[in-house]
Chains A and B, each alone.
Chain A
Amino acid sequence: MNQFLLLDHLEKTFGSLRVIADLSLEVAEGEILALLGPSGSGKTTVLRLVAGFETPDSGRVVVEEEDVTRTPPERRRFGMVFQHYALFPHMTVAENVAFGLEAQGMGRGEAAARVAETLAVVDLSGFQGRRVTQLSGGQQQRVALARALAPRPRVLLLDEPLSNLDPTLRERTRRELARVIRRVGITTVFVTHEQEEAFDLADRVAVIHRGALQQVGSPEALYESPATRFVASFIGRSNALPATWDAAGNVAVLPTGQRWPAVPGDPVSGGKPVDLLVRPESLVFADAGAAGAVPGTVVARRYGGRASLFIVALEGLAEVEVSADSRAARPEERVAVAPSSEGPMPRVYSKERNSETPA
């Protein structure tokens, strides 16, 4: 891979709290990488380490083979869009966008031309004289993007770029953001806690939990072959059932005796208790006598058009979600649930390894 930005074994503690633990990542030139994780996972800290607002305890940040770990932010030539945009409220749109150019010592005429050009890219031509406080949220976000892009940075960093917007605006803004970034062709790292946002915008997604990189890959890879118990439950919907692993038969044995085919998600040994993670679309309603069928009662149905999500209380087990045709069952109906031949293969994760990791 054509490595452009490298995070090399980063470590960071705040006081006694270890926020980033041995994190390494590579980003190719022109690639868009999402840092995805729940709040408090350390993803924003990773971004701040890359931007230079924090200094790692150990490890390196390398861009274009230049080690910038100790370089202050103003000399890294990275552009950043902040969560609340951090537009300078005492300046106009043009003054905001020109701020980085001015710091570079660019002449007035050239800077004005660059401002106009960059505002055109974000579709805000003619907004130069506006005060930033007079703009809508979406416009502010685009000014922030233009301000970050105007000095032609090497890397673009975005901290939760859409979280500050009205939900109805978010999807449109996301498409516009994707269009601008692709058109500029800049190497981009952005932080988000929303899976949909990460999947929609990014070439690759890095899932971070408790300061550690869980898995990095395409959305498909994350969904279909989650590398850890955390990724399996954090990405998409999934049901967790207790089971025992039969390594010889590649089956998970449920406490009620049924045997469900599965693959190991992390190194597990036979005969050990495991967590079995099954996607709702990997379960079907079946006849009571079918192979692996577990009897249960439909508790509720969450209607979703043609396919709905059924909540089923399995006898002697837990409640699970089953994705099926909306007319397949009704609440309070007695049913049987079995593994489907379609959908991602159920995966098992060792219990001890994840004992401190809640789903």
Chain B
Amino acid sequence: MRLRRKSPPHPGPLPGGEGAGLLLGLILAWLVAYPLLLTLAEALGSPNWTLSHFAEFLRRPDEWRALWGSLWISLATTALAAAIGVPLAFLFERTEFPGRRMLGTLIALPVVLPPLVGVIAFLFLYGEGGFLSRAVQAATRSAEPPWRLSGPAAILLVHAYTMFVYFYLFTRAGLARLDAAFLEAAAALGAGRARVLRKVTLPLLRPALAGAALLTFMTSLGSFSAPYLMGGTFRVMTTQIVFSRLNGDTEMAMVETITLAALALVGLSFLQRAEKRREVAGAIRGAAPGRRQLARGVLVATSGWIFAALLLLPHATLLLLSFVPAGTWTTQLLPPVFSISNWRSVFSEPERLRPIVNSLWMAAAATAGALLLGFAAADTAVRRRSRTGPVLETLLALPWALPGTVFAVAFAAAFSKNAPWAGRFVLVGTAAILPLAYLARNLPLTGRAAFAGLRQLDPALEEAAASLGASPWRRRLRVTLPLIAPALSAGVALAFLTALGDFVVSIVLYTFETRPISIEILSSLRMTETGVAAAYGVLLALLSAVVFLVWGARSTDDARARPPG
């Protein structure tokens, strides 16, 4: 791709830019901002405006506990993730040992696996009936399982497992960007290794670390699968919202949703501030520091492989369990029977195949829609230089900042009434609601990719096409789209995966007819069809891993653009 160089005032606003910008702005606002405003209105008792629901929220100790739970779980997750991710980043970026490249990519894998799949894999491995506890139970000849994988500690374990990757990727990127001259200058001034680290390296990494910290915090704040399946009686805001709804306490659910959204937006404003500083640090660029050949390279490599194996162990468990027929594994240490019956049932029974088909078409439709809207917005803002550009970009990015639960509840509130003149339709309970919600959640991924792609493309290429007589449509199809396709494909791949594995939005909005894979996993678990649930999980994980290894590994930006789930 050609980068734009000298930039004369490019290009003149094309006719129709403002009209298109306005229309797009309306569509995006309707999808992204409007449901939230309606939720706020309902929390305020519309049409009989009142603050009493908020007052009620403040009076209830369990609400305070959930709020506090969200906050401290997120902070603790951040600390844990940093403690694992940062040292690993130093190891993989600063040293050289056999297998470094491959391991380096492999350990980033947990970030793209759907959160729900990670959680059930953990349960199967470390949970009450899991491999590990059975082994311990057998070894100690105890009648009871040695532990229960439940409560805040369990949530933290799963969070640390998935989210250390943010610190790992950000720190690695930050280290790779670091100018070796700084370190050499410090060393030449007589600073030892520890001092260089403390006085030079870490301060320079601060923006990257701040970015990773806030991303981890936000992801953890919006996390739903782990607290929902492992929380037990321990509640965080996301689960509290869903249980309030389940209990029919709609107003309270709205207040909780608004509170969580506000918390997330405060987080986002911090994130953006950290981002700005990151760019400043990124502007300093010389040669990256060289790698230190590790004396005990083989030892490090071996422990690296063990670590990677540990990371993949939950998913290996899942694979194993997918071959265990229902009801055959009771009290034994290891499953006595293996067969492909679960897999056969998943692919041959129409009712079992349906969730897969549902997830595939809904994710595809949502991604296509999000791509279309994202590209149209980027084209209007970047190429036609519409004055609506900044508004479009903000609206596209907004869903990224909001926990999936907030989004889902807002959608449920907005589209359960029929008021066409107010832009409200009864979509809840129809096949349209989930793809639409996935679409809105995917907008940041496709939008970001489209904006970045277009901004990096030399505008002279389109002008050249114009001067050669090509119409605006021909220019986009023959020149612009083929050239930004690589940039778009990463965003599209991640958007598709997010929708495919979605649980947090689906659990609020699904209907039986359009239930996606994640919901089917949950109901299989409830019916103690562990093997079937595992087979679905393996399917989702495999799809995600393949897409990740093809596209995802290329940059931190991609991982960062993934919305919290």
Contact = CB atoms under 8 A, between A and B. Distances in A.
B464 A74 contact: no
Contacts of A48: 8
Interface stretch (B197-205, B431-439, B467-475, B556-564): B467-475
Contacts of B141: none
Interface in B261-280: none
B482 A90 contact: yes
Interface string B1-42: 110011011111000000000000000000000000000000
Contact of B468 (A84, A89, A103): A103
Given A14-B9, A82-B463, A77 B469 contact: yes
Nearest to B460: A86
Contacts of A147: 464, 468
A44 B11 CA distance: 12
Interface residues of A, number: 34
Contacts of A44: 8
Contacts of A79: 467-468
A159 to B, nearest CB: 9
A88 B461 contact: yes
Contacts of A53: 10-12, 463, 466
A317 to B, nearest CB: 40
Contacts of B6: 83
A100 B469 contact: yes
A151 B479 contact: no
Interface in A46-96: 48, 51-55, 72-80, 82-84, 86-90
A103 B471 contact: yes
Contacts of B458: 84, 86
Nearest to A44: B8
Interface string A91-133: 0000000011001100000000000000000000000000000
Contact of B469 (A14, A51, A75): A75
Contacts of B470: 74, 99-100, 103
B460 A84 contact: yes
A277 interface: no
A187 interface: no
A145 interface: no
Given A48-B8, A51-B467, A80-B464, A103 B474 contact: yes
B336 to A, nearest CB: 57
B483 interface: yes
B391 interface: no
A148 interface: yes
Contacts of A104: 469
Given A54-B12, A104-B469, A89 B483 contact: yes
Nearest to B9: A14
Contacts of B482: 90
Nearest to A88: B479
Contacts of A188: none
B465 interface: yes
Contacts of B467: 51-52, 73-74, 76, 78-80, 148, 157
A7 B466 CA distance: 21
A224 B482 CA distance: 53
Nearest to A98: B468
Contacts of A87: 464
> Which one of B12, B458, B461, B469 has the greatest number of beta carbons of chain A within 10 Å?
B469
A101 to B, nearest CB: 9
Interface in B423-469: 458, 460-461, 463-469
A87 B469 CA distance: 15
A86 B464 CA distance: 7
A44 B9 CA distance: 10
A45 interface: yes
Contacts of B478: 99
B5 A84 contact: yes
Given A84-B460, A89-B483, A99 B465 contact: yes
A171 to B, nearest CB: 23
> Which one of B6, B11, B466 has the greatest number of beta carbons of chain A within 10 Å?
B466
Interface in A137-175: 147-148, 151, 157
Nearest to A15: B9
A74 B466 contact: yes
A135 to B, nearest CB: 14
Contact of B463 (A86, A89, A90): A86
Given A55-B12, A74-B471, A82 B460 contact: yes
Nearest to B463: A53
Given A48-B8, A83-B6, A90-B482, A73 B474 contact: no
> Which one of B2, B11, B471 has the greatest number of beta carbons of chain A within 10 Å?
B2
Contacts of A99: 465, 468, 470, 478
B469 A74 contact: yes
A78 B5 CA distance: 24
A45 B8 contact: yes
A84 B474 contact: no
Contacts of A80: 463-464, 467
A347 to B, nearest CB: 33
A39 to B, nearest CB: 9
Given A99-B465, A100-B469, A89 B2 contact: yes
Contacts of A75: 469
> Which one of B9, B458, B478 has the greatest number of beta carbons of chain A within 10 Å?
B9
B12 A151 contact: no
A231 B86 CA distance: 62
Contact of A151 (B11, B463, B469, B483): B469
Contacts of B464: 80, 82, 86-88, 147
B129 to A, nearest CB: 55
A104 B469 CA distance: 7
Nearest to A144: B464
Interface string A253-292: 0000000000000000000000000000000000000000
A83 B7 CA distance: 11
Interface in A25-50: 44-45, 48
A72 B463 CA distance: 11
Nearest to B15: A72
Contacts of B472: 74
A93 to B, nearest CB: 14
A35 B80 CA distance: 63
Contacts of B479: 88
Contacts of B463: 51, 53, 73, 80, 82, 86
A152 B482 CA distance: 27
Nearest to B483: A90
A55 B9 CA distance: 12
A148 B463 CA distance: 12
Nearest to A105: B469
Nearest to B4: A84
B469 A103 contact: yes
Which A-B residue pairs are the 3 nearest by beta carbons? A100-B468, A86-B460, A86-B464
Interface of B: 1-2, 5-6, 8-12, 458, 460-461, 463-472, 474, 478-479, 482-483
Given A76-B467, A80-B464, A148-B467, 7 more contacts: A51-B463, A53-B11, A88-B461, A88-B483, A89-B1, A100-B469, A151-B469
15 contacts: A51-B467, A53-B10, A53-B463, A74-B468, A76-B467, A79-B468, A82-B464, A86-B2, A88-B465, A88-B483, A90-B482, A100-B469, A104-B469, A148-B468, A151-B469
